[in-house]
Amino acid sequence: MHTPITEWPKMDQPREKLRALGAGALSDAELLAIFLRVGVKGKTAVALAEDLLHHFGNFPRLLSCTPEELTQIHGMGISKWSQIQAAYELVKRSLEETLSQDSIFSSPSYVREFLQAKFGRLPHEVFLCLHLDSRLHLIECQELFRGSLTHMAVYPREILKEALSRNASALIVAHNHPSGNPLPSIADQELTKTLSKALQLIDIPLLDHCIVSGSGFFSFSDAGLMKID
The residue among 228 and 207 whose pLDDT is bigger is: 207
Q: Is the pLDDT of residue 107 over 70?
A: no
Q: Is the pLDDT of residue 222 over 60?
A: yes
Q: 220 φ, ψ to 5°?
A: -60, -35
Residues 111 and 58 in one domain: no
> CB of 56 within 8 A of CB of 15?
no
> CB of 103 within 8 A of CB of 137?
yes
Q: What is the mean pLDDT of residues 13-24?
A: 90
Q: Give the DSSP letter of residue 126.
A: E
Q: Does residue 225 form part of some domain?
A: no
**Which residue range(s) make up the domain with 193?**
107-219
Residues 81 and 112 in one domain: no
Residues 79 and 113 in one domain: no
Q: What is the mean pLDDT of residues 6-28?
A: 90
Cβ burial, residue 99 (10 Å; 0-12/13-18/19+): buried
> In this predicted model, what pLDDT tens digit does every residue of 147-171 receive, in sequence order?
876 678 899 999 999 999 999 999 9
Whole-angstrom distance, CA of residue 107 vs CA of residue 128:
19
Average pLDDT value over all residues in the chain = 88
Q: Does residue 215 form part of some domain?
A: yes
The predicted pLDDT at position 73 comes to 87
Find the helix packing angle between 186-200 and 156-165, rounded to 10°. Answer: 40
The predicted pLDDT at position 167 comes to 96
Residues 142 and 80 in one domain: no
Q: Is the pLDDT of residue 186 over 90?
A: yes
Give the global pTM: 0.69
Residues 83 and 112 in one domain: no
The predicted pLDDT at position 57 comes to 86
Nearest in space to 205 (alpha carbons), one of 227, 190, 185: 227
Q: Does residue 63 form part of some domain?
A: yes
Where among 89, 122, 151 does a domain terminate?
89
**b/e 21-35 (16+ beta carbons within 10 angstroms → b):** eeeeebeebbbbbbe
Q: Does residue 226 form part of some domain?
A: no
CATH, residue 59: 1.10.150
CATH, residue 147: 3.40.140.10
